[in-house]
Amino acid sequence: MNSKIKVMKMRYFLVLLVAIVSYSCGSSSEDKEINNLEGNWTAKWSTDPASFGEIEGISDYTMDGNFIFENQMLNIKAYGFEGCVFSTDTLDHNLMWSVSGDSLILINDDETPGMVYQIKSKTEEKIELQLLDDIMLTLTK
């Protein structure tokens, strides 16, 4: 696959990721602990360079940002830069979020399919999330 197409697909993927809204019909008592996410979290996306092969112009497989959880609203800021596999632009989106079981669920709206981050681990100060097979997101307070 052409490396420019790979880069465009990855950038589209990130834009879609931060543009979606999270939604869930309810939560169990087990979900209550993870639902207490309110506040400002530092975000770091990362992926394994081996997943992409050599792509011209890509020099970094990480990206910093912030997640600000307020009730069911979420603001995601992603600080892209030249050479970043995720994005070359800064992205800023207001979304909704929810948790179900071991998943942080993100949906654009009731009619648009969303994305699901698997919650790999959580403490009061750090949450490790995984999207698909090769994108990790670490949130720290």
In sequence order, what are the beta bridge partners of 46? 62, 136
Closest CA to 93 of 64, 60, 65, 63: 65
pTM comes to: 0.74
**HSE-CB of 129 using CA atoms within 13 angstroms:** 20
How much is the average pLDDT of 50-72? Answer: 91
Tally of residues, the chain: 141
pLDDT at 90: 95
Closest CA to 61 of 47, 50, 51: 47
pLDDT in tens, 86-140: 999 999 987 888 888 999 988 777 777 678 999 999 999 999 999 999 999 999 9
The domains of the chain, with CATH numbers, are: 3-140 (2.40.128)
pLDDT in tens, 7-22: 444 544 443 443 333 3
Taking the CB of residue 49, how many other CB atoms lie within 10 A of it?
A: 15
pLDDT at 98: 86
pLDDT in tens, 28-42: 444 445 557 899 999
pLDDT surpassing 80 at residue 58: yes
